[in-house]
Amino acid sequence: MFNEERKKTAFQWKDLGDIQAGRPNLGLTVPVLAYRLLQYTLRDVLISEVGIDRANEIFIKSGRLAGAQFCRNILNRELGFHEFIAQLQRVLKEQTIGILRIEEADMEHMRFTLTVAEDLDCSGLPFTDEVVCHYDEGFIAGIFETYTGKPFSVREIDCWASGERVCRFDARQVTIDR
């Protein structure tokens, strides 16, 4: 299941296992340190193996897959848009993933500016004049796509690592010309 060759992604929510049963003593949560250790060592190796652009693409794609599964398995997709956003904000806080705040929402063009504070990926990183939350870009896109059923493009325009102290994302529905 985990070691089979594949040409298409095959991740399913149940692949995460029964964490409660598997960690009766250590519990469901781990320090951010462990998450970042995985994320940044993986990033390091990927960049060295396949280059920056390809590595970032892989992070975005993985984030998109995670966002889609997260939306499908954790969030109530039957809610209206603003209720859904309130729910997302609440769940991201409960899961200690980040503090979601909507800055602007253009419902007509399905374009949103949102921020994630205390972000799991980057908050507290040294200022390096770079944006680094590619996984988040994919994660947010995956959530929006799964909720709306429409393709979304999400781009990080500000990042803690670029000195903004908050991660700001521009999310917009992609119009497909036929």
Complete DSSP assignment for 55-77? HHHHHHHHHHHHHHHHHHHHS-T
Measured CA distances, 111 to 70, 73, 152 (Å): 21, 24, 9
CB of 113 to other proteins, least distance (A): 8
Smallest distance, other proteins to C-beta of residue 162, A: 6
Nearer to other proteins, 69 or 121 (CB): 121
Gap between the Cα atoms of 90 and 93, Å rounded: 5
- Give the residue with the Cβ less far from other proteins, 23 or 101: 101
Distances (CA, A) of 15 to 19, 69, 88: 11, 11, 23
Residue type, 151: P
Q: Which residues bind other proteins (CB under 8 A)?
A: 82-83, 85-87, 89-90, 93, 99, 101-105, 113, 115, 117-118, 127, 129, 158, 162-166, 168
Q: Whole-angstrom Cα distance, residue 85 to residue 87?
A: 5
Q: Which is nearer to other proteins, 58 or 79 (CB)?
A: 79
Choice between 89 and 148, CB closer to other proteins: 89
Q: How far is the CB of 165 from other proteins (least distance, A)?
A: 4
Quote the least distance from Cβ 9 to other proteins, whole Å.
32
> Please, which residue, 68 or 161, has the CB nearer to other proteins?
161
Residue carrying structure tokens 């990042």: 159
**What six digits make up the tokens of 176?**
């497909």
Distance of closest approach, residue 164 Cβ to other proteins, in angstroms: 5
Interatomic CA distance for residues 42 and 39, integer angstroms = 5
